[in-house]
Structure 1
Amino acid sequence: MFSIRFTVITLFLLQLAVHAYGGMEHFRILPEPQSVEIMKGKGLHYNDLSFIVNRSGEDYPVLGTMLGSLPHKERNGKGVYLSLSEKEVPQSPEGYVLQVSEKGVFITSSGQAGLFYGCQTLEQLMEDSRDFGLQIPALKITDYPDIAYRAVHLDTKHHLDRMEYYYRMVDKLARYKVNAIIWELEDKFEYSSHPEIASPNAISKQEMQAFCRYARERNIEISPLVQGLGHASFILKHHWELRENPESDWEFCPSNPKTYEFLYDLYQDAIEAMPYGKYLHIGGDEITAIGIDKRCKETGKTAFELQMHWLKQVCDYAKSHGRTPIFWDDMPLKFAGLWPQILGDETESELDKSWNTEKLDQAIELFPKECIYMRWNYGDATKPAHKRLLKWYKEKGLPVMAATAASAGDSPFMPREYTKANYIKGFSQLVVENDLQGILATAWDDGSPHLETVFRGYIAQGEFGWNPDGRTVEEFAEAHGQREFGLEAGKGKTDFIQELEKAFFFFDGALVESGRRNPAWGTTHFKLIELPDKTHPGQWTQKYQKRIEQAEKEQLRFEQIRRELTEARQEALRNRYTLDIYEQNNHLQNYPVRLLLALRDLDKAAGEENRLKALDHLETVCNDFYAMRRELEAVYSRTRFMEQPDGYIPDMNHHNHLSAKSNNSDWLYLYEKPMVEKILSYIGEKY
């Protein structure tokens, strides 16, 4: 009995000691380092550090808030020492060794990027030491990225954020060791060669150059994506003469020499605006109508041959201007009949019978060797067919880059499934296994989600692009909450994000009988649900019973999210704006629930007095829509422009993207706004 009691007391004292001296289980470095060794001896607290010096003789890397406040001169106390060395450090120029002891902190790397990332890691250690009253233990971190090129995608085709917000975005991406951005410009950039293309609020070349310089100082390389053969509405809505199909602004004609003259002008402008990037992404995906006009037919080439002819021309241009071209690879796969299999779930044994690359093999000479083929898969990239395709590319000696998704356009408000972190992790592992050229986390603007809701996916790319086998997705979600908000990991403090992701599934179609607003597949015509008939009380409730039952469950989910968000806002140490965005999204997703439950109450009200009370409540809920909209847009507009500027010409839009449905913000409430109008009209007519 004594020995048991002694053991319990001993364990308790050990736990107290670990907390007092800052055991690493309370620290969350993101991305997770490759190796952390706890050393003998004492560590230090964040406020023990009184200076930082760079012994390499080079410029200091850009420092975070805490390190940046330290003087660059030795003084009394403990310091941070930076040095460059080729010995006993990772081979990667982004790798570093960070050592903490009671004497101070020593960061060593073979390159400036490694010193920068070592300082980012130290900043996080200091942050946790400050936030949770912990001592940083004596330790040695040996760290380096498993993937050299770790990019995120910025798509501004349908909206533009304020320029200062993009600067803050770069600071955050650098903090999590993302080292590249591929920016899909469309009409949000002032092309000096063709100014008619630019939106009135477009970013100037000089502004973009300054922004790229700022990013470069933080080890982030920015390269342009200028859509080419297809996705060309931003150009062809102005230049009908370059269209393949006069009725569509989607595709250029690849047989028209002026197509290339025009694209080369745009490429030159983009390269000059983003002078430090090594890539030129030329798009080339989702082509539907090549080969139908007279010029193309006269060539005698197939649609696939015409596309590959275009690809060869633009790749030659990129190469001659010092850029490596990147091309979305889906059209060759559709030509070869492999697309259904790439998206499917066939097993290895099933693929043995059906897998056929004969068409691709025969066309291999049409594939430019200087081009990087961007293999995009926004779901589970580890399925057998997809892995076979990567093997085919490797066998043919074609360079490949991965494209996963931080937001795949499946919701206008919230990316789903841990902000796609599972898929990001899986594809990152394949990049390492197959020695691919890098990875890009796309964030399509089809539904224009606020970047604050996408950032967890971007940060997941930082996490798993650096160390794909480090954390589980659930562990990452906890680490994200600690790093972003100062909410101690392991306590489920950000579980509300997962619940909010789930809530939007019901929101998507809660108010319609038919229709689709999922921006990944394009919007369709819709039919709103019926309204109660007071001459047949209870009939409406019976008809929509399952929907109402789900609405009741969603109301409980809303209350849970609201409670957890309130607690997070109270405890958060930073990034409260992100929580503001989540809060507004929570109110929005709950709005159809409130309407449904108010309609249920009206339908079930017995007696004239109760019916009038229910009617009054329904009218109040309808009028609440306008207050909710004002508040949401006030919060959103702190960082983004909520309307297209005067004079903006909308696309014909081949894909009918949700966020292109209106030049103002009406598209955000595609079903909610007309439903409110329908109910208010119904109240006026029936009551």
Structure 2
Amino acid sequence: MCFFFPVKAVNPIDGFRILPLPQKIEIGEKGGLMGDELSHITVKGNFTVPVLGELLDRLPGKNGNGKGITLILTDSDTPVSAEGYVLEVGKKGVTISARAQAGLFYGCQTMEQLMEDSRDFGLLIPFMKITDYPAISYRAVHLDTKHHLDRTEYYYRMIDRLARYKINGIIWELEDKLRYSRRPEIGAPNAISKQEMQAICRYAKERHIDISPLVQGLGHAGFILKHHWELRENPASDWEFCPSDPRTYEVQFDLYRDALEAMPESKYLHVGGDEITAIGIDDRCKATGKSPFELQMVWLKKVCDFAVSHGRTPIFWDDMPLKYADLWGLITNDLSDEEVLKNWNTSRLDEAIKMFPQDCIYMRWQYGDPTGLAHRLLLDWYHKNGLRVMAATAASMGDTPFMPRNNSRAQYIRDFSELVAQNNLEGILSTAWDDGSPHLETVMRGFIAQAEYGWNPGGRTIEEFIDAHACREFGLSGKQMQFLSEMEKAAFFFDGALVTSGHRNPSWGVTTTFKLIDLPDITNPGEWSAKYKKLLDRAQEESVRYGMIVNGLNEARRNALRNRYTLEVYRQTSNLLNYPVRLLEALALYDKAPNTEGRQEALKTIGAVCDSFSVVKKDLENVYSQTRFMQNPDGYISDQNDHNHLAALTNNSDWIFLYEMPMVEKVKKWLDKMEIPVSVNRK
């Protein structure tokens, strides 16, 4: 079904920030009612009340004398979508009507937000009619637990927040974080049991969120092949299965069965299948006489048949066919339209189309700008060949550790959501890769952006979304959340401020060997500052930025009406991002000191900054650990991990401080050589 949305919609309800923005709001006669005037909530008919938010749930479920909220299930004058609803505010109260329970649930979520704004800001809810429905039927987010687990209660809280914003799907990348009963060697010692996962899924289903598993197959198989060496395509790598060994499918299908039992009502089975680096090199594969691409598609057909036979729709990342067809570079590189048209050739895909399973959904992942010509041409090719396609954008990239950047990637999410709606794709997934394992509170704004633009792609601008997010999540204005944009900028400097070589950016390939910056030479004062002038100039800029962040965070914490934990995560993250700046400034003071007395004072400052690192580290770990487990359990076996993901470098949280810990130790040794007691507590 095709839904239409305006090119730009303006919220006609001054002061209210409904998120996602409804499709249509009609203001009635002058006047309105306050949220606290509503005295009860009842149903008209024989059906159960949906799960309610905090404010609606306080209302008694019986008829009262005052103004109330009436829920109606009806096919009359309601949107065709099962998730659509009509919300009318009149002199006698509020009616919410829909043709299905999902629509009633979402109408109640909108009413909850109206009442929240009325309470928080003293706003009169105007007499009006909202007609609302989603432009995209499947609006999902991605939970990637390959490198960490959060506490079970946090998943329940997250589900409540996602449902509040009308997200209706989660694709959960399990890897070794499920306790597989058929293959117990695969699950980590702290893995979630099938019974715990079933309970989480039931809770989500009550809030109209489907949780479906992603169990990596063919590639990204280190969590399996670190135990099953006999199934490796390359004995030296745990990255790929051998697709020609029947035992591959015995193991893979056992994991699928366990995952589907843990998520018994899931719609999909995501089979992975991306980023394969070596197929066809093993004797078992060579004996088949098939090409690497043919072997991949044989594997895909078998796993798709399994999914369909178990009542699930298979989903497959689509990059490998595009690499086979030499189209990947055209889609991922920033090329002019002329260059794209000159080199665009789908002949290899056209020849291979018979190998594409028709019952599979091909997940078209594009984490940057999706509006390029090559990307749009590819969507046309899929459409012409009758293949089902789902989009995958990103709320958090693996290449940006500690926190997402660029306004939580909201513009890319918005653009891809528009393409999905225009091309009637199957849905959209907002990924959140765990390669750099940012705290999920820092990812949440990207998830909420997906909720906003998956529901109404042509609604708000990015600036309007930022303002609506600030209001909904914190009871603040967009201006009061400006510190978050500054934090995103600060993260770029933090990434490599203390090294001259090496990467901790997962998409560039994390390097465990790196070169820390040099330290000042007492015999050549000023030389160090000259050598690192550009770095120190940037540090000075970042110091000013940090002051802005601290002021903004302090104001937000004083005025926030909710989600103070999120602000505390931001606060501790910003303190970590600022630590290299403080250390660089202290070293510059020593290098530029005009005399011995000045150098001695500078050394004390350097010592104090070194001493403070343990506090920064401890404070961050204490806050993060309120929701996530900060280390792997005893006996945990790490993957070889072909990509060297940052968060896989240590079994505890030391990977977060990859450069900072050795730099502090280097500076301490340097201080010790000075033989000056710069700090009484320094060890």
1:457-504 CA distance string (max 9 Å, x none): 000010000000000111101100000000145xx1111111100110
Equivalent positions of 1:484-499 (< 5 A) are 484-489=473-478, 492-499=479-486
Deviation for aligned residue 1:346? 2.6
Aligned AA for 2:541? Answer: K
Unaligned runs of 5+ residues in structure 1 are 1-21
SS in 2 for 1:36: strand
CA distance 1:151–1:355, shift in 2 (3 Å)? same
User: Corresponding residue for 2:570?
Assistant: 582
Q: Counterpart of 2:490 in structure 1: which amino acid? A: A
Deviations 1:616-654 (A, max 9, x none): 110110110001100010000000000001111111101
Query: Equivalences for 1:36-51 in 2 at 5 Å?
Result: 36-51=25-40
- 1:140 deviates by 0.5
Between stretches 41-50 and 180-189, larger displacement belongs to 41-50
Kindly provide the amino acid, as one letter, of the partner of residue 667 in structure 1.
W
Would you say 1:56 and 2:45 are equivalent positions?
yes
In the aligned structure 2, how far is the partner of 1:639 from the partner of 1:520? 26
Deviation at 1:23, TM superposition (A): 7.4
CA contact (8 A) 1:23 1:137 kept: no
Q: CA deviation at 1:42?
A: 2.5
What is the one-letter code of the residue matched to 1:569? R
| Deviation, structure 1 residue 526 | 1.2
Displacement, 1:27? 0.2
What amino acid is aligned across from residue 168 of structure 1 in structure 2?
R
Structure 2 length-normalised TM: 0.96
CA contact (8 A) 2:12 2:25 kept: no
Alignment match, 2:6? none
Matched, 1:120 2:77: no
Give per-residue Cα distances to partners, 1:421-447, cap 9 Å, x unaligned: 100000000001111000000000000
SS at match of 1:203: coil
> 1:46-445 to 2 correspondence within 5 Å?
46-445=35-434
Aligned equivalent of 1:634: 622
1:660 to 631, 640, 648: 648
* Distance (Å, rounded) in 1 between the aligned partners of 2:311 and 2:12: 49
Amino acid at match of 1:333: L
Structure 2 CA distance, aligned partners of 1:488 and 1:104? 29
Following superposition, which runs of at least 4 residues in structure 1 exceed 3 angstroms of deviation? none
Q: Which moved more, 1:543-552 or 1:37-46?
A: 37-46
Aligned to 2:507, what secondary structure does the other structure show?
A: coil
| 1:35 counterpart = 2:24 | yes
Question: Matched residue of 2:321: which SS?
Answer: helix
Counterpart for residue 522 of structure 1:
509
Does structure 2 conserve the Cα–Cα contact (< 8 Å) formed by 1:151 and 1:439? Answer: yes
Aligned-partner Cα distance in 2 for 1:312–1:686: 67
Contact 1:55 1:82 in 2 (8 A): yes
| Structure 1 residue 470 corresponds to structure 2 residue 451 | no
User: What is the CA–CA distance in structure 2 between the aligned matches of 1:88 and 1:41, rounded to whole Å?
Assistant: 24
Equivalent of residue 505 in structure 1, options 492, 504, 517: 492
Q: What is the distance in 2 between the residues matched to 1:662 and 1:132?
A: 47
TM-score, L = length of structure 1: 0.96
Query: Which residue of structure 1 aligns with residue 668 of structure 2?
Result: 680
- The one-letter amino acid paired with 2:402 is F
Q: CA shift at 1:24, angstroms?
A: 1.3
- Distance (whole Å) between structure 2 residues aligned to residue 546 and residue 617 of structure 1: 22
Name the stretch that deviates more: 361-370 or 338-347.
Answer: 338-347
How much does 1:349 deviate?
A: 2.9
Counterparts of 1:512-551 in structure 2, within 5 Å, are: 512-524=499-511, 525-551=513-539
Deviations 1:54-110 (A, max 9, x none): 113111100000000000001121100000111111000100000011210100001
Deviation at 1:352, TM superposition (A): 2.3
Partner of 1:605: 593
CA distance in 2, matches of 1:331, 1:23: 46
State the SS of the aligned residue for 1:322.
Answer: coil
Partner SS state of residue 126, structure 2:
coil
Aligned to 2:4: none
Percentage of pairs with the same residue:
64
Q: Which residue of 1 aligns with 2:634?
A: 646
Distance 1:486 1:352 in 2: 48
* 1:3 matched residue in structure 2: none
What do residues 16-66 of structure 1 show as CA deviations (whole Å, max 9, x unaligned)? xxxxxx971200000000001110042110110000001131111000000
What is the CA distance between 1:127 and its match in structure 2? 0.3
